[in-house]
Amino acid sequence: MSGDFPKNAEEARLDRDATREELTETLEALGQKLDVKARVKENVDEKLDQATAKVADVTNEPTAVKFRQGADAVRANPLPVFAGVLGLLILIRLILRRRNS
């Protein structure tokens, strides 16, 4: 009986450690999914990179440089830009409502 106890305890420790690793991985994955701010930032960065590449393809170099500078400013502080876009959308909606009335 005493020969089985260390073996089972070792198996229990290994099982516990494996379970902890799985839980840690699961919690990290959930944390990444729930981190909306980071996901939005990644999405904005991706879209800005795509837009910068397109602008560089269709315009001259000085214009592309200015656009890159603007994109970097948005990356550094996106809140004013989002607030401005939100305000613009609200204004457009109000104008459309008045026209339809």
> What are the Cα distances from residue 86, in Å, to 60, 80, 92?
30, 10, 10
pTM given for the model: 0.45
Condensed to tens digits (0 to 9), the pLDDT of residues 3-40 reads: 434 467 788 888 889 889 999 999 998 888 888 878 87
Q: Please report, for the chain, how many H helices and E strands are present, in that order.
A: 4, 0
Domain boundaries, the chain: 8-58
Distance CA 12, CA 33 (A): 31
Which segments of the chain does DSSP mark as H helices, in order? 4-34, 36-58, 61-76, 78-100
The pLDDT of residue 20 is: 93
Per residue in 69-92, pLDDT tens? Answer: 888 887 788 778 778 888 989 999
Measured distance CA(83)–CA(90) in Å, rounded: 11
Q: Structure tokens of 24?
A: 């840690």
